[in-house]
Amino acid sequence: MKILLHICCGPCASGVVPWFKAQGLDFVGFYYNPNIQPFSEYEKRRVNLEEVAKILDFDVIYSIDWEVEKWIHNFSSEQRCYNCIFLRLEKTAKLAKEIGFDAFSTTLSISPYQSLDVIRNCFERISNKYKIDYVFNNFRSLYQDSIKFSKSNGIYRQNYCGCIISEYNMLLRKRAKGDRIE
């Protein structure tokens, strides 16, 4: 089974990729994240993923389309997070099908801040729509490994999901804790 693995960032990949390798799964990474703003943050995360891919020795397809307008279309929706995950996983499934992969997956479930129910629901809807299998796993037990890997390899670790609203919410949390906002 050949799997196209959607990757949100290098730190998340650093936790999930070793699991894929340990399972003997044949996979290629796919970086597509139009939710990440501003563009400088998008590029910083892409460059860090390139570094993680070199260290862990795996291939990644980098979408040449930032396609932020597709994300902005979902911006005002009450289901912003659901739509954002669906958008990214749908693009992954379409590409996987197009280039002859058997399944698609994501690193998103490593994050304790992402809803596993939302991810699973997106997988099911997209799998049915495009008639392609998916690999879903709760990777949260690997989250601390990704933090250790990032620290020991000097990999940039972001402190928000990627969209402007998640950044704003992170700043509000910092302010409430009395942390300095830079």
Render each residue's pLDDT in the chain as its tens digit; 182 residues: 999 999 999 999 999 999 999 999 999 999 999 888 888 888 999 999 999 999 999 999 999 776 677 667 666 666 888 988 999 999 999 999 999 999 999 999 999 989 999 999 999 999 999 999 999 999 999 999 999 999 999 998 887 676 777 777 777 877 888 887 76
Q: Is 122 annotated as a binding residue?
A: no
Q: How far is CA 32 from CA 23, 84, 90, in A?
A: 24, 11, 11
Each domain of the chain, given as residue ranges in start order, spans 2-177
Spatial separation of the C-alpha atoms in residues 5 and 17, rounded to whole Å: 9
Contact of 10 with 52, CB cutoff 8 Å: yes
pTM: 0.88
Query: 2-177 has which fold?
Result: Rossmann fold (3.40.50)
- If one counts every other C-beta atom within 10 angstroms of the C-beta of residue 107, the result is 26
163 belongs to an annotated ligand binding site: no
Instruction: Tell me the CA distances in angstroms from 180 to 124, 138, 173, one per residue in order.
Output: 41, 33, 11
